[in-house]
């Protein structure tokens, strides 16, 4: 698996006239090597696969990244990078500009100079991320496992949630449930936002007591072998009023329009419009301030990005969220989020949890 991924990366490097790439993004590192430790750099070229990490992760690296030659970084980047570069003598070495710190960049430059080389460090963006956007079978399996845990917790909300609870209290019950159901960690902190707080798409749970009749936005994700799920349901203790119902139905129809209309080959901005047009037609365009969705995988927000200004095209093999929302300041918000796999002939929704509104 790792070999196929590296093969594809090397094709991309060659197409960009690069002799190698320094990989610093933790998700890219794991994707290309299998190494899941939280510190380390990869150097990949057609002739070498290097993983440099410090002593805390060395044994783990040996076990997880068998295809790689390991370097211990205890004495700083100058030493290992210097000796490596003297051997490789690359003309152009790419680095991940969003993930290599300025300090690391400066050390690399120094080491190149010290070795008497003219190696040019070339800034790159999104090279591995583009590969990661298309999922293979094993990745889809992991995502499906994470999805089934998040489905399970949503389907048990009726038992976990009761009026009088605080947002933090409910978030804690959800987290406990997910752990017990086998989630290895969380994709992100559980969002549990009630009443006016739910008007903030990424609200943090507070000590606010959840009241009957108001919207409660619950957004959570489980993680299995690094792969994430991401699901949102908006619920209401007791009977939702007609305003809640009206907004809920608009968001739901917008989501269904996107799910039924998205096809492989479509631009990500057109996909966004499928849902946005409906929300705009109902007069709530200004209240849907974020994009329709985002890719999920090793990272919870990855390529593709579905929003009005996205330049990406949706391809079969991508897994992304479909999550329209309407947010009304001082009242609250409604968001419904599901995860879907794009197939060559249709969009397959992976999440299957109840679309409950009333509990």
Comparison of 49 and 335: residue with beta carbon closer to Co ion: 335
129 or 230: CB nearest Co ion: 230
Helix (H) or strand (E) holding 22: strand 20-23
Closer CB to Co ion, residue 96 or residue 337? Answer: 337
- Burial-class residue 119 by CB neighbours within 10 Å (0-12, 13-18, 19+): buried
> What contacts 110, CB < 8 A, 6 or more positions away?
78
Task: Pick the piece of the chain touching Co ion (CB under 5 A) from 21-29, 104-112, 192-200, 229-237.
Answer: 229-237
Question: Any contact of residue 299 with Co ion (CB under 5 A)?
Answer: no
DSSP string computed for 41-77: EEEEESS-EEEEE-GGGHHHHHHH-TTSEEEE-TT-H
Nearer to Co ion, 23 or 254 (CB): 254
We find the least distance from the C-beta atom of residue 266 to Co ion, in angstroms, to be 19
Does position 96 interact with Co ion (CB under 5 A)? The reply is: no
In the list 175, 219, 338, 339, the residue contacting Co ion (rule: CB under 5 A) is 219
Q: In Å, what is the CA distance from 41 to each residue of 44, 45, 64, 96, 166?
A: 10, 13, 14, 11, 42
The residues in 337-356 that bind Co ion, with binding defined as CB under 5 A, are 337
* Closest approach of Co ion to the CB of residue 111, in Å: 40
321 binds Co ion (CB under 5 A): yes
Query: Should residue 230 be labelled a site residue for Co ion when binding is judged by CB under 5 A?
Result: yes
Task: Please give the DSSP secondary-structure letter assigned to residue 40.
Answer: -
Strand order, beta sheet including 185-186: 185-186, 222-224, 227-228
Q: Quick one: which segment of 82-90, 165-173, 202-210, 214-222 binds Co ion (CB under 5 A)?
A: 214-222
Are residues 62 and 82 in contact, defined by beta-carbon separation less than 8 angstroms? no
Q: Which residues pair with 51 in a beta bridge?
A: 42, 70
- Tell me which residue of 328, 158, 359 sits closest to 243, measured CA to CA: 328
Closer by beta carbon to Co ion, 72 or else 290: 290
In this chain, which stretch among 21-29, 121-129, 208-216, 232-240 interacts with Co ion, using CB under 5 A?
232-240
Count, residues near Co ion per rule CB under 5 A: 5
In the bound state with Co ion, the residue whose beta carbon lies nearer, of 129 and 219, is: 219
| Footprint of Co ion (CB under 5 A) | 219, 230, 232, 321, 337
């Amino acid at each position: 698996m790792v070999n196929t991924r590296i093969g594809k990366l090397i094709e991309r490097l060659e197409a960009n006239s690069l002799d190698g790439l320094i990989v610093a993004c933790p998700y890219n590192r794991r994707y290309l090597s299998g190494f899941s430790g939280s510190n380390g750099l990869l150097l990949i070229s057609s002739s070498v696969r290097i993983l440099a990490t410090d002593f805390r992760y060395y044994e783990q690296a040996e076990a997880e990244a068998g295809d790689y030659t390991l370097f211990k970084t205890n004495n700083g980047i100058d030493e290992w990078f210097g000796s490596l570069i003297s051997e490789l003598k690359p003309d152009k070495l790419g680095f991940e500009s969003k993930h290599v710190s300025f300090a690391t960049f400066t050390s690399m430059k120094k080491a190149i100079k010290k070795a008497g080389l003219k190696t040019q460090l070339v800034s790159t963006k999104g090279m591995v991320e583009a590969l990661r956007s298309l999922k293979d079978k094993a990745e889809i399996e992991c995502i499906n496992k994470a999805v089934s845990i998040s489905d399970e917790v949503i389907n048990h909300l009726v038992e976990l949630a009761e009026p009088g609870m605080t947002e933090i209290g409910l978030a804690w019950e959800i987290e406990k449930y997910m752990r017990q159901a086998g989630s290895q960690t969380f994709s992100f902190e559980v969002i549990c936002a009630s009443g006016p707080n739910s008007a903030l798409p990424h609200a943090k749970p507070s000590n606010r007591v959840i009241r009957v009749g108001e919207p409660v936005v619950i957004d959570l994700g489980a993680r299995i072998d690094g792969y994430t799920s991401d699901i949102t349901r908006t619920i209401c203790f007791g009977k939702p009023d007609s305003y809640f119902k009206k907004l809920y139905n608009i968001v739901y129809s917008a989501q269904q329009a996107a799910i039924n209309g998205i096809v492989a080959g479509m631009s990500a901005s057109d996909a966004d419009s499928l849902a946005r047009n409906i929300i705009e037609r109902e007069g709530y365009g200004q209240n849907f301030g974020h994009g329709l969705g985002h890719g999920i995988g090793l990272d919870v927000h990855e390529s593709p990005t579905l929003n009005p200004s996205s330049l990406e095209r949706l391809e079969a093999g991508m897994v992304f969220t479909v999550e329209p929302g309407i947010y009304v300041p001082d009242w609250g918000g409604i968001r419904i989020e599901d995860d879907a796999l794009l197939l060559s002939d249709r969009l397959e929704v992976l999440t299957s949890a109840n679309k409950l509104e009333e509990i």
